[in-house]
Amino acid sequence: MNRQYIIRRILIAIPSLLGISVILFGVLAMAPGDPFEELATNPAIPPEVRMALRAKFGLDDPVWQRYLHWFSAMVQGDWGFSFQSRMDVDRLILQRLPVTLIVIGASQLLAISVAIPVGVLAAIKPYSIFDQIASTFAMIGFSLPTFFTGLVLILVFSIQLDWLPFVYRADINATGWAFYGEHIKQSIMPVVVLGLAQAGTLVRFMRSSVLDVIRLDYVTTARSKGIGERKVIVRHVVRNALIPVVTLIALQLPAVFGGAIVTEQIFRVPGIGSLLIAAILANDTPVVMGITFVISCLVVLFNLIADILYGWLDPRISFR
């Protein structure tokens, strides 16, 4: 693994982020809706005041000027001001981001740690009973939308069994272990819903990837060396089979954020997704811009991590 490869990957990420920000800004500028719409219908506020406010926030400038303005401020750490919440966008996002990151991170970990072993075991004994069961569950996992599985879980575990809370609360009146316990308890359902949807696709992918690798010549070579079957699978099959799966995980990340937005709505998780939806409904452009840009940054970051992992898993790539 060479440093040059990593540096090159990081440098490529910069222009893609710039491009993304231009597109996001352009699309938002073209979108209908005006943050001061409310004021227009309010008879107490004369049109001149509204116009003055628009001018003050620079809403009447040409798009490219507004973009440059936004960009230079963003680089300096000023992400704008939320019309709706009356606070700085960066503070608003930072308040909400950790919850989302924890939910998404935990669900990804869950998905990966379930899907990889299940996919490998299913592939080692294809068409066995285990494989059939795993494939059936995987099929269910990726064909059911999260809003459906989420509601089913709420029905079963919150309403019927009353084990888990169905509303995610940010204000828990507890300290110490009880505080963390409550947090974990209320995170279980959103994490499971999001994680299992992911795991379904990953199981299918891992299984076929292992099946592809397991019949390759070098696996026979490994067996001929007298290495135990378990070690053959872990060292010589799984590592090679992971290469395409890492790509899949990175490619699916935008979909995971999409899923997270829906899941946050269902469970009322006070994360970035519910903030985004509220901001869109209120035409709160700076917030929408800020959140979508943060999500883009995260997606680019994880693609970068995937690229680096890729270079580690497959030495042929980093040499090119």
Partner 1 sequence: MADTLLDIRGLKTWFKVEDGMVRAVDGVDLHIDRGETVGVVGESGCGKTVTARSVLKLIDMPPGRFEAGQILWQGRDLIPLDQGEMNKIRAREIAIIFQEPMTSLNPVYTVGDQIAEVIALHQKLSPKQAMAGAAEMLRLVNIPNPQKRVHDYPHQFSGGMRQRVMIAMALSCQPKLLIADEPTTALDVTIQAQILELMHEMKDKFGMAIMLITHAMGVVAETCQRVTVMYAGKVVEEAPVEALFADPRHPYTQGLIRSIPRIDRAVSRQARLESIQGTVPSLLNPPAGCRFAARCKYAMDICTQGIPPLKEVAPGHRVACVL
Give the binding site for partner 1 (CB under 8 A): 216-218, 220-229, 236, 239-240, 313-316, 319
CA–CA separation, 139 and 201 (whole Å): 8
CA 137/CA 156 separation, integer angstroms: 18
Separation CA 272–CA 276 (nearest Å)? 6
Please state the separation of Cα 145 from the chain's center in Å: 16
**Which C-beta is closer to partner 1: that of 22 or that of 227?**
227
Name the residue nearer to partner 1 (CB basis): 143 or 221: 221
Task: Output the smallest distance, CB 252 to partner 1, in A.
Answer: 23
Q: Are 126 and 211 in contact (CB under 8 A)?
A: yes
* Measured distance CA(275)–CA(100) in Å, rounded: 11
Taking the complex as a whole, the smallest distance from the CB of residue 240 to partner 1 amounts, in Å, to: 6
Q: Side chain identity at 49, as an amino acid letter?
A: V
CA distance 195 to 188: 10
Q: How far is the CB of 228 from partner 1 (least distance, A)?
A: 6
C-beta of 80: minimal distance to partner 1 in Å?
A: 46
Closer CB to partner 1, residue 111 or residue 237?
A: 237
In the complex, minimum distance from the CB of residue 241 to partner 1, in angstroms, rounded to a whole number? 11
Question: 56 or 320: whose CB is closer to partner 1?
Answer: 320
Give the C-alpha separation, 277 to 271, whole Å: 10
Task: List b or e across 92-104, with b for residues whose CB sees 16 or more CB atoms inside 10 angstroms.
Answer: bbebbbebbebbb
Choice between 169 and 231, CB closer to partner 1: 231
| Phi, psi torsion values for 61, nearest 5 degrees | -70, 160
Residue 115, C-beta contacts closer than 8 angstroms, at least 6 positions apart: 198, 199, 202, 203, 206
Question: In Å, what is the CA distance from 86 to each residue of 196, 278, 282, 284?
Answer: 37, 14, 13, 11
Min dist CB 282 to partner 1, Å, is 51
| Residue with Cβ nearer partner 1 (2 or 143) | 2
In the complex with partner 1, the residue whose CB is nearer, 107 or 240, is: 240
| Distances 259 to 104, 145, 200, 254, 265 between C-alpha atoms, Å | 9, 9, 14, 9, 10
